[in-house]
Amino acid sequence: MGENTQELADHGPCSHPRKLLICSLFAVLALSLIYFIFYSPPSSFASYSDLFDQFKTQRTTKNTSLPPPHPQAWLQCDYSDGKWVWDESVTGPRYDSENCDMKSTEKCVINGKPDKGYLHWRWQPTGCNISALDPTSFLRLVRGKHLAFVGDSTARNQAEALVCYLSTVARPVTVHRYEERLGRKFWQWFFPAPHSVNVSTYWSPLLVRAEGHSEDYAMTQETVILDALTEPWTKDVDAMDVMVISVGHWFPRPAMYYEDGEVVGVYSRPDITNKTDIGYLGVYRKVLRRTLEYVDANSTRDKLVVVATIAPAHFDATHGWNHRDACSRTKPFEEGEAEVAATDAELRNVVLEEVATAAAKRRKRWGVRFEVLDVTRMATMRPDGHPGPYLFAHSYDLRPVPETVANDCLHWCAPGIVDTFNDILTKMIVAGG
C-alpha cells in the first residue's frame, strides 16, 4: 500500500504533502471497495493500482508512431491496420449472453448498459475485409482440437466470448471451473461429438510463478520467479492445438524478481534500496521468450501459437476510477483524437520482436506457427466497449448510477469488440490450413 501511495504521490494529484493523507485514505477505500465487491468468488478484475497505472499512462504519454507488425507470413492481410466504421446493417448483438457460462460482469446487454452503439462498430482493415466468424464453420475448422487461452483475465474474456458465441450452435459442457484460489484458476469447456472441441483458459497473469498480489488481492506486491514457468499450462502445452497468450496488465506493478534463486532486481520498490530497479519491460521480454522457447521445445505436433498485444484500459483521467463517468463514452475515438500510449507501444513492441524471434528460431520438425494478435491500436480507439458500472444483472434499471461506483473499464463487453479479436484469430487458424 505504501509503495502505491508513494507512486501516486510521485505522479500527480497526491504530490502536495497535505494531500497525501487524503490520498492514502482514498487508496485504502478504493482497495477495500474493490475487494469487497469482487472478493467472492475471487475475481480476475485488475487491481486498483493497475487501474491507476493506466490513468498515469494515458494522462501523461502519447505516441503516434507504431512500427509495422512483424511479417505475418501466413496471413494475407495486416488486420491491425484499419479503422472502426459504423455498420447500419447490425441489427442486434451477435449472441445472447444470458445463458452463457461467462463472467457476469461482462454481460453488458443483460446488465443494462444503456448505450448499445458499441455493438454497431465494425473493424474495417485497410487492405482487406473481415467478417464475423461463423460458429458452425468454426467448430468444423477446429474439430477434435484443443484451444487454450493462457494469461490474465483478458485471455479469459476472449475465451468466454468465443465459447458463448459457439454456444449458439452447440451446447458445451463445462468440464472444469476451478477458482478457489487465484493461482489455480482454470476453466475448460467441451463441445461434444461431432465437434470434440476443448476450449480452456489457464490463469497465469505473469506466465511464471508469482507470489503476492496475483494470488491474494490483499497483498500489493509481487515476488516473481522468472525461471519458473507455471503449471498447469506448461504440462498441457503439447495437447494444445491453438494457444492464445494474453499477458501484459500485470507487469507494471511493484515487484521483486528472482532468477536462479537470487534476487536479480526490483521494479517500483522504493522500500528496497539495495537492489536495482530493472523496470518491467525486460522482464516481460524474458518471460515471453522463455514461454515461446518452451512451447517450441515441448511440441511434438502442429500448433498455432498466438500472442496478443496489450489492449489498454480506458479510465478517463479527468474522473476517478470509481466515478460513474470513468468510461462513459458512447463512441469510439476519432482518428487523431487518441493515440497509443508510449507504455502500451513498448509492451506491444516486445511482443512483435519476441514472436518474430521465435518464428525465426523455431524448430522446423513440427509445424509450430507463431503469430501476433495485434489489437493494441484497435482497442485503444474503443473507450466505449467496456462494462463501466454495469457489472451485475440489471444493475441500474430502476435507479440512477451513483456518482461513486466500481467500474470495469478494462475488460470488454461480450458480445462486443472482443469478438473482433476472435474473428482475426479465426483468420489465423484458417491460414494454417
Q: Pick from 114, 144, 192, 367 the residue near ligand NAG by CB under 6 A.
A: 144
97 carries an active-site annotation: no
97-113 as b/e: b if 16+ CB within 10 A: beebebbebbbbbbbeb
Q: Pick from 60, 63, 174, 330 the residue near ligand NAG by CB under 6 A.
A: 63
Stretch that binds ligand NAG, among 63-71, 205-213, 406-414, 420-428 (CB under 6 A): 63-71
Q: How far apart (Å, rounded) are the C-alpha atoms in residues 310 and 315?
A: 15
Stretch that binds ligand NAG, among 43-51, 254-262, 277-285, 341-349 (CB under 6 A): 341-349
DSSP label at residue 104: G
- Closest approach of Cβ 263 to ligand NAG, in Å? 9
Q: How far apart (Å, rounded) are the C-alpha atoms in residues 87 and 90?
A: 6
Question: If you write DSSP's letter for every residue of 333-402 in order, what string do you get?
Answer: PPTTT--B-HHHHHHHHHHHHHHHHHHHH--SSS-EEEEEE--HHHHHT-GGGS-BT--STTTTSSSPPP
* Closer residue to ligand NAG, CB minimum distance, 211 or 293: 293
> 189: part of which helix (H) or strand (E)?
strand 186-191
* Closer residue to ligand NAG, CB minimum distance, 109 or 133: 133
Distance of CA 251 to the CA centre of its chain: 12
Distance of CA 174 to the CA centre of its chain: 22
Q: How far apart (Å, rounded) are the C-alpha atoms in residues 358 and 9?
A: 40
67 near ligand NAG, judged by CB under 6 A: yes
* Closer residue to ligand NAG, CB minimum distance, 91 or 274: 274
CA 130 vs CA 79, 83, 138, 158, 176: distances in Å: 8, 12, 15, 18, 33
408 carries an active-site annotation: yes
Binding to ligand NAG, residues 250-279 (CB under 6 A): 272, 274
294 near ligand NAG, judged by CB under 6 A: yes
Listed residue (4, 50, 3, 42) closest to 250, CA to CA: 50
Q: Pick from 40, 65, 91, 318 the residue near ligand NAG by CB under 6 A.
A: 65
- Closest approach of Cβ 46 to ligand NAG, in Å? 24
297 near ligand NAG, judged by CB under 6 A: yes
7 to 46: interface string for ligand NAG, x by CB under 6 A: ----------------------------------------
CB 251 within 8 A of CB 222: no
**Secondary structure (3-state) at 222:** strand
* Closer residue to ligand NAG, CB minimum distance, 363 or 399: 363
Can you tell me which residue has the cell 466470448?
A: 161
213 carries an active-site annotation: no
- Closest approach of Cβ 36 to ligand NAG, in Å? 32
Catalytic residue numbers? 153, 408, 411
Given the rule CB under 6 A, which residues bind ligand NAG?
A: 63, 65, 67, 128-129, 144-146, 175, 190, 196, 198, 272, 274, 293-294, 297-298, 342, 345, 349
